[in-house]
Amino acid sequence: MSNPWMERVHVAQGFPKPSTDAAPTAVFLALFFVAASTNIFIFLRNNRRGHKFLFNGLCIGFCMARVVTTSLRLGWMYNLDNRGLAIAATIFVAAGVLILFIINLLFAQRILRGLHPHLGWHKAISRTLLVLYLLIPLLLVMVVTASTQSFFTTHPATAKADLNMQRGASTYFMFVAFLPVPVVTFSLVYPKRNDPDHFGQGHFWLKSAVVLTASVLLTLGAAFRTSTIFISNNTIPPWYNAKWCFYFFNFTLEIIVIVLYVAVRIDLLFHIPNGSKGPYSYSRGKEAAEQEVETKSLQRRSTDRTGHGTDTPRSPMGGLATENVEV
């Protein structure tokens, strides 16, 4: 260790080295870049046909964040004593996956509102989930502050406080990663008192399987990261410090989730009409969108016959043209 801070800062699975980390890091950099390009292609193609889906944009943001993460780690491993690169790489590893947690929880919320429209749109549930969403960026700021400070402080009490903040935030993030499991399970088993509010394409069972699979994978990674923070450095089992653990419980599980989202076409499964608010706004908005498409088609045929166009009426729900993220 060439600098004192490297001796007192604990890095899960050890500091990166070119001999052991360069190849897998470069591979994941390429994989996330391909995943980002794929989501960009889907996003732009959907936009051209008037089908906007913001979650593809969030997936692009996550993949590009992981491209930055792997690039920072490559730079860090060749400049190991660079504290700035070490801090940035550590923060990006912890923060990037939060985008997937939010996406998956929003999908679970849509399933709940679709299967149980009145219960899912209840103010108490909506406000509770809104608070959970708002806590994520607040705790992220806390993690960034604690992680940065841990690289500089030499005071034991401050270092312990930083560790406790990291433990608390990591536990909450693990809870958010797991939360879609009980939400979707409840949605499926709770007796239906009203007709479901259908949205997107595909059966609710397929939507639920996608969310549950992603949630299990993300929770597995979050649980591993949390456990490494809680276990004392002197009692960490040897296999925890193996390099494969870092790449499996972080990048591998995340790329599997992204591939899953692309393979099942989440832009079709989980799409809802813009302006959806309240019970049965998903299906009613869909009907309005279909009427708008039919109106435009009739208008085009009329224009072709007469050579003159008129303004096409707009659907009050916005139709298929836009997609909102409702909470």
How far apart CA 229 and CA 222 sit, in angstroms, is: 11
Residue 48 CB burial class (10 angstroms; 0-12, 13-18, ≥19): exposed
Q: Is the CB of residue 19 less than 8 Å from the CB of residue 61?
A: no
For residue 68, the surrounding DSSP H or E stretch is helix 54-77
Determine the residue type at 239.
W
Predicted confidence band at 3 (pLDDT cuts at 50, 70, 90)?
low
Predicted confidence band at 316 (pLDDT cuts at 50, 70, 90)?
very low
Mean pLDDT of the chain: 84
20-69 per-position pLDDT tens digit: 899 999 999 999 999 999 999 999 999 888 888 889 999 999 999 999 99
Q: Whole-model pTM? A: 0.84
What kind of architecture, by CATH, is found in domain 16-272?
A: Up-down Bundle (1.20)
Give 311's contacts (C-beta < 8 A, 6+ positions apart): none
Average pLDDT over residues 62-86: 91
Predicted confidence band at 303 (pLDDT cuts at 50, 70, 90)?
low
Predicted confidence band at 234 (pLDDT cuts at 50, 70, 90)?
low
How far apart CA 118 and CA 115 sit, in angstroms, is: 9
Outline where 116-252 has alpha helix (H): 117-120, 123-150, 156-178, 180-189, 204-230, 243-246
Give 129's contacts (C-beta < 8 A, 6+ positions apart): 105, 109, 327
Neighbours of 154 (CB within 10 A): 9
Tell me what pLDDT residue 288 has. Answer: 53
Average pLDDT over residues 213-235: 86
Tell me what pLDDT residue 104 has. Answer: 96
Which residue's entry shows tokens 């960490």?
A: 236
Tell me what pLDDT residue 4 has. Answer: 62
Q: Is the CB of residue 212 less than 8 Å from the CB of residue 184?
A: yes
How far apart CA 313 and CA 16 sit, in angstroms, is: 59
How far apart CA 257 and CA 218 sit, in angstroms, is: 8
Average pLDDT over residues 194-210: 92
Give the number of C-alpha atoms closer than 13 A to the C-alpha of residue 308, restricted to the C-beta side: 2
Give the number of C-alpha atoms closer than 13 A to the C-alpha of residue 22, restricted to the C-beta side: 8
Q: Is the CB of residue 29 less than 8 Å from the CB of residue 67?
A: yes
Maximum separation of any 2 CA atoms in the chain, in Å = 82
Rounding to the nearest 10 degrees, give the CA dihedral for residues 12, 16, 169, 110.
Answer: -110
